[in-house]
Structure 1
Protein backbone atom coordinates (compact mmCIF):
# COMPACT_ATOMS: atom_id res chain seq x y z
CA UNK A 1 0.00 0.00 0.00
CA UNK A 2 1.48 3.34 -1.03
CA UNK A 3 0.27 5.35 1.96
CA UNK A 4 -0.53 4.48 5.57
CA UNK A 5 -4.25 4.45 6.42
CA UNK A 6 -4.05 7.47 8.69
CA UNK A 7 -1.72 9.68 6.72
CA UNK A 8 -2.63 13.37 6.96
CA UNK A 9 -2.61 15.36 3.76
CA UNK A 10 -2.93 19.14 3.91
CA UNK A 11 -4.56 18.90 7.31
CA UNK A 12 -7.08 16.23 6.28
CA UNK A 13 -6.90 12.59 7.30
CA UNK A 14 -6.57 10.16 4.43
CA UNK A 15 -9.84 8.30 3.86
CA UNK A 16 -9.48 4.74 2.61
CA UNK A 17 -12.46 3.74 0.49
CA UNK A 18 -13.48 0.37 -0.92
CA UNK A 19 -15.99 0.50 -3.80
CA UNK A 20 -17.81 -2.82 -4.20
CA UNK A 21 -19.49 -2.73 -7.59
CA UNK A 22 -19.40 -5.05 -10.60
CA UNK A 23 -19.93 -2.14 -13.02
CA UNK A 24 -16.36 -1.19 -13.87
CA UNK A 25 -17.30 2.10 -15.52
CA UNK A 26 -18.90 3.36 -12.30
CA UNK A 27 -16.19 2.13 -9.96
CA UNK A 28 -13.31 3.31 -12.15
CA UNK A 29 -14.94 6.74 -12.51
CA UNK A 30 -15.34 7.02 -8.75
CA UNK A 31 -11.73 6.08 -8.16
CA UNK A 32 -10.54 8.61 -10.72
CA UNK A 33 -12.66 11.45 -9.30
CA UNK A 34 -11.87 10.75 -5.65
CA UNK A 35 -8.13 10.36 -6.18
CA UNK A 36 -7.88 13.50 -8.30
CA UNK A 37 -7.45 15.38 -5.05
CA UNK A 38 -5.31 14.35 -2.11
CA UNK A 39 -7.12 12.82 0.83
CA UNK A 40 -8.58 9.63 -0.64
CA UNK A 41 -7.19 6.16 -1.32
CA UNK A 42 -9.62 3.98 -3.32
CA UNK A 43 -9.63 0.22 -3.85
CA UNK A 44 -12.12 -1.65 -6.04
CA UNK A 45 -13.88 -5.00 -5.71
CA UNK A 46 -16.10 -6.55 -8.37
CA UNK A 47 -17.31 -9.56 -6.39
CA UNK A 48 -18.40 -10.31 -2.83
CA UNK A 49 -15.44 -12.66 -2.39
CA UNK A 50 -13.00 -10.01 -3.61
CA UNK A 51 -14.48 -7.43 -1.21
CA UNK A 52 -14.11 -9.68 1.83
CA UNK A 53 -10.56 -10.64 0.84
CA UNK A 54 -9.54 -6.99 0.40
CA UNK A 55 -10.86 -6.07 3.84
CA UNK A 56 -9.00 -9.02 5.36
CA UNK A 57 -5.77 -8.16 3.53
CA UNK A 58 -5.88 -4.37 3.91
CA UNK A 59 -7.48 -3.95 7.34
CA UNK A 60 -10.45 -1.69 8.06
CA UNK A 61 -11.58 0.82 5.44
CA UNK A 62 -12.93 4.20 6.46
CA UNK A 63 -15.84 3.73 4.06
CA UNK A 64 -17.13 0.77 2.05
CA UNK A 65 -19.58 1.70 -0.73
CA UNK A 66 -21.61 -1.40 -1.54
CA UNK A 67 -23.74 -1.85 -4.63
CA UNK A 68 -26.84 -3.77 -3.52
CA UNK A 69 -27.15 -5.76 -6.74
CA UNK A 70 -23.96 -7.85 -6.82
CA UNK A 71 -23.81 -10.90 -9.13
CA UNK A 72 -22.53 -13.36 -6.50
CA UNK A 73 -24.53 -12.22 -3.48
CA UNK A 74 -28.29 -11.83 -3.10
CA UNK A 75 -30.22 -9.51 -0.80
CA UNK A 76 -28.63 -8.03 2.29
CA UNK A 77 -26.44 -11.00 3.19
CA UNK A 78 -23.28 -9.37 1.80
CA UNK A 79 -24.01 -6.16 3.70
CA UNK A 80 -24.08 -8.10 6.96
CA UNK A 81 -20.80 -9.86 6.17
CA UNK A 82 -19.03 -6.64 5.18
CA UNK A 83 -20.22 -4.80 8.29
CA UNK A 84 -18.82 -7.60 10.44
CA UNK A 85 -15.54 -7.84 8.52
CA UNK A 86 -14.95 -4.07 8.35
CA UNK A 87 -16.36 -3.36 11.82
CA UNK A 88 -18.86 -0.89 10.38
CA UNK A 89 -18.48 1.90 7.86
CA UNK A 90 -20.48 0.17 5.11
CA UNK A 91 -23.03 2.19 3.14
CA UNK A 92 -25.39 1.06 0.39
CA UNK A 93 -24.44 2.69 -2.91
CA UNK A 94 -27.26 1.84 -5.26
CA UNK A 95 -30.00 2.99 -7.55
CA UNK A 96 -32.12 -0.17 -7.51
CA UNK A 97 -33.03 -0.92 -3.88
CA UNK A 98 -36.46 0.19 -2.70
CA UNK A 99 -36.68 2.23 0.46
CA UNK A 100 -37.98 -0.63 2.67
CA UNK A 101 -34.78 -2.50 1.82
CA UNK A 102 -32.73 0.58 2.61
CA UNK A 103 -34.56 0.94 5.92
CA UNK A 104 -33.78 -2.70 6.72
CA UNK A 105 -30.14 -2.12 5.83
CA UNK A 106 -29.97 0.80 8.26
CA UNK A 107 -31.52 -1.36 10.98
CA UNK A 108 -28.81 -3.96 10.30
CA UNK A 109 -26.12 -1.38 10.95
CA UNK A 110 -25.40 0.18 7.55
CA UNK A 111 -23.68 3.55 7.80
CA UNK A 112 -25.97 5.11 5.28
CA UNK A 113 -27.57 5.08 1.87
CA UNK A 114 -25.89 6.87 -1.02
CA UNK A 115 -27.97 7.02 -4.23
CA UNK A 116 -26.04 6.51 -7.45
CA UNK A 117 -27.63 9.72 -8.67
CA UNK A 118 -25.54 11.65 -6.12
CA UNK A 119 -23.29 14.23 -7.75
CA UNK A 120 -19.61 13.40 -7.63
CA UNK A 121 -18.96 16.73 -5.94
CA UNK A 122 -21.30 15.91 -3.06
CA UNK A 123 -20.05 12.33 -2.85
CA UNK A 124 -16.70 13.46 -1.48
CA UNK A 125 -18.39 15.24 1.42
CA UNK A 126 -20.72 12.29 2.04
CA UNK A 127 -17.78 9.88 2.22
CA UNK A 128 -16.07 12.10 4.78
CA UNK A 129 -19.29 12.22 6.83
CA UNK A 130 -19.48 8.41 6.90
CA UNK A 131 -15.75 8.09 7.61
CA UNK A 132 -16.19 10.33 10.65
CA UNK A 133 -18.59 7.78 12.12
CA UNK A 134 -21.86 9.47 11.17
CA UNK A 135 -24.74 7.86 9.26
CA UNK A 136 -25.71 9.51 5.98
CA UNK A 137 -29.36 9.47 4.87
CA UNK A 138 -30.60 11.68 2.00
CA UNK A 139 -33.38 14.09 2.93
CA UNK A 140 -35.54 12.72 0.08
CA UNK A 141 -35.37 9.25 1.64
CA UNK A 142 -36.50 10.56 5.03
CA UNK A 143 -39.46 12.29 3.38
CA UNK A 144 -40.46 9.12 1.54
CA UNK A 145 -40.37 7.02 4.71
CA UNK A 146 -42.43 9.56 6.62
CA UNK A 147 -45.07 9.59 3.90
CA UNK A 148 -45.24 5.87 3.39
CA UNK A 149 -47.90 5.19 6.01
CA UNK A 150 -50.48 6.53 3.55
CA UNK A 151 -50.55 3.31 1.49
CA UNK A 152 -54.13 1.99 1.03
CA UNK A 153 -53.07 -1.67 0.96
CA UNK A 154 -52.42 -2.11 4.68
CA UNK A 155 -49.14 -3.94 4.06
CA UNK A 156 -47.19 -4.77 7.18
CA UNK A 157 -43.51 -3.66 7.33
CA UNK A 158 -42.31 -7.23 6.75
CA UNK A 159 -44.67 -7.66 3.79
CA UNK A 160 -43.48 -4.41 2.27
CA UNK A 161 -39.88 -5.49 2.63
CA UNK A 162 -40.61 -8.88 1.05
CA UNK A 163 -42.46 -7.20 -1.81
CA UNK A 164 -39.36 -5.12 -2.51
CA UNK A 165 -37.19 -8.23 -2.47
CA UNK A 166 -39.62 -9.86 -4.91
CA UNK A 167 -39.07 -6.82 -7.07
CA UNK A 168 -35.34 -7.52 -6.96
CA UNK A 169 -36.00 -10.99 -8.40
CA UNK A 170 -35.25 -13.00 -5.25
CA UNK A 171 -36.94 -16.37 -4.73
CA UNK A 172 -38.61 -17.36 -1.45
CA UNK A 173 -35.57 -19.29 -0.22
CA UNK A 174 -33.27 -16.36 -0.97
CA UNK A 175 -35.64 -13.93 0.76
CA UNK A 176 -35.75 -16.19 3.80
CA UNK A 177 -31.96 -16.34 3.95
CA UNK A 178 -31.68 -12.57 3.55
CA UNK A 179 -34.20 -11.80 6.31
CA UNK A 180 -33.47 -14.81 8.53
CA UNK A 181 -36.99 -16.18 8.05
CA UNK A 182 -38.29 -19.68 7.45
CA UNK A 183 -39.27 -20.25 3.82
CA UNK A 184 -42.81 -21.20 4.93
CA UNK A 185 -43.21 -17.79 6.58
CA UNK A 186 -42.03 -16.08 3.40
CA UNK A 187 -44.60 -18.06 1.39
CA UNK A 188 -47.37 -16.98 3.78
CA UNK A 189 -46.29 -13.35 3.46
CA UNK A 190 -46.26 -13.57 -0.34
CA UNK A 191 -49.80 -14.97 -0.29
CA UNK A 192 -50.89 -12.16 2.04
CA UNK A 193 -49.29 -9.57 -0.25
CA UNK A 194 -51.14 -11.00 -3.26
CA UNK A 195 -54.47 -10.88 -1.40
CA UNK A 196 -53.94 -7.28 -0.26
CA UNK A 197 -52.91 -6.15 -3.75
CA UNK A 198 -55.76 -8.14 -5.36
CA UNK A 199 -53.43 -10.09 -7.65
CA UNK A 200 -52.92 -13.79 -8.41
CA UNK A 201 -49.18 -14.28 -8.18
CA UNK A 202 -45.85 -12.74 -7.24
CA UNK A 203 -45.19 -11.37 -10.73
CA UNK A 204 -48.48 -9.48 -10.70
CA UNK A 205 -47.71 -8.32 -7.16
CA UNK A 206 -44.45 -6.73 -8.31
CA UNK A 207 -46.21 -5.04 -11.24
CA UNK A 208 -48.95 -3.73 -8.94
CA UNK A 209 -46.38 -2.57 -6.41
CA UNK A 210 -44.50 -0.58 -9.02
CA UNK A 211 -47.67 1.00 -10.38
CA UNK A 212 -48.65 1.99 -6.83
CA UNK A 213 -45.26 3.47 -5.98
CA UNK A 214 -44.45 0.79 -3.40
CA UNK A 215 -41.24 -0.21 -5.20
Structure 2
Protein backbone atom coordinates (compact mmCIF):
# COMPACT_ATOMS: atom_id res chain seq x y z
CA UNK A 1 0.00 0.00 0.00
CA UNK A 2 1.56 3.28 -1.10
CA UNK A 3 1.78 6.24 1.24
CA UNK A 4 0.24 9.55 0.14
CA UNK A 5 2.76 12.31 -0.42
CA UNK A 6 1.98 15.79 0.92
CA UNK A 7 1.19 16.99 -2.61
CA UNK A 8 -1.45 14.27 -2.96
CA UNK A 9 -3.13 15.01 0.37
CA UNK A 10 -6.56 16.60 0.37
CA UNK A 11 -6.71 20.39 0.23
CA UNK A 12 -7.95 22.36 3.23
CA UNK A 13 -11.60 23.15 2.51
CA UNK A 14 -12.57 26.61 3.74
CA UNK A 15 -15.99 28.28 3.70
CA UNK A 16 -15.97 32.07 4.09
CA UNK A 17 -19.23 33.88 4.81
CA UNK A 18 -19.37 37.68 4.49
CA UNK A 19 -21.93 40.14 3.13
CA UNK A 20 -19.29 42.23 1.34
CA UNK A 21 -18.75 40.84 -2.17
CA UNK A 22 -15.29 42.41 -2.45
CA UNK A 23 -14.12 40.72 0.75
CA UNK A 24 -15.38 37.34 -0.48
CA UNK A 25 -13.75 37.72 -3.89
CA UNK A 26 -10.45 38.74 -2.33
CA UNK A 27 -10.38 35.78 0.06
CA UNK A 28 -11.51 33.27 -2.55
CA UNK A 29 -9.05 34.45 -5.19
CA UNK A 30 -6.16 34.48 -2.73
CA UNK A 31 -6.85 31.00 -1.32
CA UNK A 32 -7.79 29.38 -4.63
CA UNK A 33 -4.41 30.35 -6.06
CA UNK A 34 -2.70 28.24 -3.39
CA UNK A 35 -2.28 24.51 -4.13
CA UNK A 36 -3.42 23.19 -0.76
CA UNK A 37 -6.59 25.27 -0.27
CA UNK A 38 -10.11 25.01 -1.64
CA UNK A 39 -12.32 28.01 -0.87
CA UNK A 40 -16.08 28.48 -1.06
CA UNK A 41 -18.07 31.57 -0.14
CA UNK A 42 -21.50 32.60 1.15
CA UNK A 43 -23.09 36.09 1.38
CA UNK A 44 -24.95 35.52 4.66
CA UNK A 45 -25.31 33.08 7.53
CA UNK A 46 -28.32 31.19 6.13
CA UNK A 47 -26.50 30.44 2.86
CA UNK A 48 -23.43 29.34 4.83
CA UNK A 49 -25.54 26.96 6.93
CA UNK A 50 -27.11 25.51 3.77
CA UNK A 51 -23.66 24.93 2.27
CA UNK A 52 -22.52 23.17 5.44
CA UNK A 53 -25.56 20.89 5.27
CA UNK A 54 -25.05 20.16 1.56
CA UNK A 55 -21.26 20.01 1.23
CA UNK A 56 -19.83 19.98 4.74
CA UNK A 57 -18.38 19.67 7.12
CA UNK A 58 -15.63 22.06 6.03
CA UNK A 59 -12.13 21.99 7.52
CA UNK A 60 -12.70 25.60 8.61
CA UNK A 61 -15.62 28.01 8.40
CA UNK A 62 -15.10 31.77 8.86
CA UNK A 63 -18.23 33.84 9.55
CA UNK A 64 -18.39 37.64 9.42
CA UNK A 65 -19.56 39.01 12.76
CA UNK A 66 -21.77 41.73 11.25
CA UNK A 67 -23.45 40.00 8.29
CA UNK A 68 -27.21 39.27 8.09
CA UNK A 69 -28.39 36.45 10.33
CA UNK A 70 -25.51 36.56 12.80
CA UNK A 71 -27.13 38.43 15.73
CA UNK A 72 -23.72 38.94 17.31
CA UNK A 73 -21.98 35.74 18.32
CA UNK A 74 -25.32 33.87 18.28
CA UNK A 75 -24.69 32.99 14.64
CA UNK A 76 -21.34 31.48 15.60
CA UNK A 77 -23.13 28.90 17.75
CA UNK A 78 -25.37 27.93 14.82
CA UNK A 79 -22.38 27.55 12.50
CA UNK A 80 -20.49 25.43 15.06
CA UNK A 81 -23.51 23.12 15.40
CA UNK A 82 -23.78 22.67 11.62
CA UNK A 83 -20.09 22.14 10.81
CA UNK A 84 -19.94 18.66 12.28
CA UNK A 85 -17.53 19.49 15.09
CA UNK A 86 -14.98 21.11 12.76
CA UNK A 87 -13.57 24.59 13.55
CA UNK A 88 -15.55 27.79 13.03
CA UNK A 89 -13.94 31.21 13.50
CA UNK A 90 -15.04 34.85 13.45
CA UNK A 91 -14.08 37.28 10.70
CA UNK A 92 -14.25 40.92 11.83
CA UNK A 93 -12.48 44.27 11.94
CA UNK A 94 -12.42 45.53 15.53
CA UNK A 95 -14.04 43.13 18.02
CA UNK A 96 -14.74 44.19 21.59
CA UNK A 97 -13.18 42.28 24.47
CA UNK A 98 -16.65 40.85 25.09
CA UNK A 99 -16.88 39.41 21.55
CA UNK A 100 -13.43 37.82 21.81
CA UNK A 101 -14.10 36.15 25.16
CA UNK A 102 -17.65 35.06 24.28
CA UNK A 103 -16.70 33.59 20.90
CA UNK A 104 -13.95 31.52 22.52
CA UNK A 105 -16.22 30.41 25.38
CA UNK A 106 -18.77 29.21 22.80
CA UNK A 107 -16.11 26.98 21.25
CA UNK A 108 -15.05 29.24 18.38
CA UNK A 109 -11.72 28.61 16.68
CA UNK A 110 -10.66 32.21 17.09
CA UNK A 111 -10.67 35.61 15.41
CA UNK A 112 -9.30 36.67 12.04
CA UNK A 113 -9.07 40.43 11.56
CA UNK A 114 -9.97 41.90 8.18
CA UNK A 115 -7.32 44.53 8.85
CA UNK A 116 -4.51 41.95 8.84
CA UNK A 117 -2.21 41.28 5.90
CA UNK A 118 -3.24 38.45 3.58
CA UNK A 119 0.26 37.00 3.83
CA UNK A 120 -0.54 35.90 7.40
CA UNK A 121 -3.88 34.36 6.43
CA UNK A 122 -2.63 30.98 5.24
CA UNK A 123 -0.80 30.24 8.50
CA UNK A 124 -3.78 31.39 10.56
CA UNK A 125 -6.18 29.19 8.57
CA UNK A 126 -3.88 26.16 8.78
CA UNK A 127 -3.54 26.65 12.53
CA UNK A 128 -7.29 26.93 13.09
CA UNK A 129 -8.14 24.07 10.69
CA UNK A 130 -5.75 21.84 12.67
CA UNK A 131 -7.60 22.53 15.92
CA UNK A 132 -5.68 25.57 17.18
CA UNK A 133 -7.41 28.60 18.67
CA UNK A 134 -6.11 31.82 17.14
CA UNK A 135 -6.44 35.31 18.63
CA UNK A 136 -4.34 38.16 17.14
CA UNK A 137 -1.68 39.41 19.51
CA UNK A 138 -3.03 42.98 19.43
CA UNK A 139 -6.32 41.73 20.91
CA UNK A 140 -4.51 39.83 23.66
CA UNK A 141 -2.38 42.84 24.56
CA UNK A 142 -5.26 45.30 24.70
CA UNK A 143 -5.80 46.95 28.09
CA UNK A 144 -8.13 44.72 30.03
CA UNK A 145 -10.68 45.92 32.50
CA UNK A 146 -9.63 46.06 36.12
CA UNK A 147 -12.80 44.91 37.79
CA UNK A 148 -11.61 44.73 41.36
CA UNK A 149 -8.69 45.93 43.42
CA UNK A 150 -6.60 43.79 45.79
CA UNK A 151 -9.12 44.14 48.60
CA UNK A 152 -11.86 42.71 46.41
CA UNK A 153 -13.65 46.04 45.96
CA UNK A 154 -14.63 47.42 42.61
CA UNK A 155 -12.02 49.86 41.26
CA UNK A 156 -14.92 52.13 40.25
CA UNK A 157 -16.10 54.61 42.85
CA UNK A 158 -19.62 54.37 44.24
CA UNK A 159 -20.66 57.39 42.15
CA UNK A 160 -19.12 55.82 39.01
CA UNK A 161 -21.00 52.58 39.68
CA UNK A 162 -24.25 54.56 39.88
CA UNK A 163 -23.48 56.39 36.61
CA UNK A 164 -22.53 53.08 34.96
CA UNK A 165 -25.86 51.52 35.98
CA UNK A 166 -27.70 54.43 34.34
CA UNK A 167 -25.51 54.13 31.23
CA UNK A 168 -26.60 50.49 31.04
CA UNK A 169 -30.20 51.74 30.85
CA UNK A 170 -29.25 53.78 27.78
CA UNK A 171 -29.74 57.16 29.46
CA UNK A 172 -27.90 60.20 28.02
CA UNK A 173 -25.67 62.41 30.18
CA UNK A 174 -28.38 65.05 30.59
CA UNK A 175 -30.88 62.58 32.10
CA UNK A 176 -28.20 61.00 34.31
CA UNK A 177 -27.27 64.46 35.62
CA UNK A 178 -30.90 65.32 36.35
CA UNK A 179 -31.45 62.04 38.19
CA UNK A 180 -28.30 62.37 40.32
CA UNK A 181 -28.37 66.13 40.79
CA UNK A 182 -25.10 66.59 38.87
CA UNK A 183 -24.04 69.02 36.15
CA UNK A 184 -23.84 67.45 32.68
CA UNK A 185 -20.10 68.29 32.56
CA UNK A 186 -19.61 66.32 35.81
CA UNK A 187 -21.41 63.32 34.33
CA UNK A 188 -19.15 63.51 31.25
CA UNK A 189 -16.14 63.46 33.57
CA UNK A 190 -17.46 60.35 35.34
CA UNK A 191 -18.14 58.61 32.00
CA UNK A 192 -14.60 59.38 30.84
CA UNK A 193 -13.18 57.95 34.08
CA UNK A 194 -15.35 54.81 33.80
CA UNK A 195 -14.16 54.20 30.24
CA UNK A 196 -10.52 54.67 31.26
CA UNK A 197 -10.80 52.25 34.20
CA UNK A 198 -12.58 49.61 32.12
CA UNK A 199 -10.28 49.94 29.11
CA UNK A 200 -13.28 50.91 26.95
CA UNK A 201 -13.26 53.39 24.07
CA UNK A 202 -16.86 54.58 24.52
CA UNK A 203 -19.87 54.35 26.85
CA UNK A 204 -21.47 51.43 25.00
CA UNK A 205 -18.29 49.37 25.18
CA UNK A 206 -17.94 50.28 28.87
CA UNK A 207 -21.34 48.70 29.58
CA UNK A 208 -20.44 45.58 27.56
CA UNK A 209 -17.08 45.20 29.34
CA UNK A 210 -18.68 45.76 32.75
CA UNK A 211 -21.18 42.97 32.07
CA UNK A 212 -18.42 40.75 30.69
CA UNK A 213 -16.31 40.99 33.84
CA UNK A 214 -19.26 40.66 36.20
CA UNK A 215 -19.57 44.16 37.64
CA UNK A 216 -23.34 43.80 37.22
Structure 1 length normalisation: TM-score? 0.68
User: What is the CA–CA distance in structure 1 between the aligned matches of 2:171 and 2:36, rounded to whole Å?
Assistant: 47
Say which is worse superposed, 34-43 or 92-101, in terms of deviation. Answer: 92-101
Pairs within 5 Å for 1:162-177: none
Pairing 1:195–2:163 present: yes
**Residues 155 and 196 of structure 1 are in contact (CA less than 8 Å); yes or no, is this contact kept in structure 2?**
no
Partner of 2:182: none
**Residues 68 and 93 of structure 1 are in contact (CA less than 8 Å); yes or no, is this contact kept in structure 2?**
yes
Inter-CA distance 72–99: structure 2 relative to 1 (3 Å threshold): same
- Please provide the CA RMSD for this pair: 3.3
User: What is the CA–CA distance in structure 1 between the aligned matches of 2:78 and 2:155, rounded to whole Å?
Assistant: 29
**Residues 20 and 47 of structure 1 are in contact (CA less than 8 Å); yes or no, is this contact kept in structure 2?**
yes
Pairs within 5 Å for 1:1-215: 10=7, 13-86=10-83, 87-144=85-142, 147-150=143-146, 154=154, 195-196=163-164, 199=167, 201-202=169-170, 204=172, 210-211=201-202, 214=206
Inter-CA distance 100–54: structure 2 relative to 1 (3 Å threshold): same
Cα deviation, residue 141, structure 1: 1.4
Larger radius of gyration: 2
Cα deviation, residue 195, structure 1: 2.8
Inter-CA distance 66–200: structure 2 relative to 1 (3 Å threshold): closer
- Cα offsets for 1:56-104 (capped at 9, x unmatched): 0002111111100012331221100110111231011101431211111
Inter-CA distance 14–148: structure 2 relative to 1 (3 Å threshold): same
User: What is the CA–CA distance in structure 2 between the aligned matches of 1:103 and 1:80, rounded to whole Å?
Assistant: 14
User: What is the CA–CA distance in structure 2 between the aligned matches of 1:155 and 1:81, rounded to whole Å?
Assistant: 37
Structure 2 length normalisation: TM-score? 0.68
**Residues 17 and 48 of structure 2 are in contact (CA less than 8 Å); yes or no, is this contact kept in structure 1?**
yes
Inter-CA distance 45–197: structure 2 relative to 1 (3 Å threshold): same
Cα deviation, residue 137, structure 1: 1.3
Point out where structure 1 has 5 or more consecutive residues left out of the alignment: 1-6, 157-191
Say which is worse superposed, 64-73 or 127-136, in terms of deviation. Answer: 64-73
Secondary structure of the residue aligned to 1:127 is: helix
Cα deviation, residue 18, structure 1: 0.4
Q: How many residues align?
A: 172
User: What is the CA–CA distance in structure 2 between the aligned matches of 1:150 and 1:59, rounded to whole Å?
Assistant: 42
User: What is the CA–CA distance in structure 2 between the aligned matches of 1:193 and 1:13, rounded to whole Å?
Assistant: 55
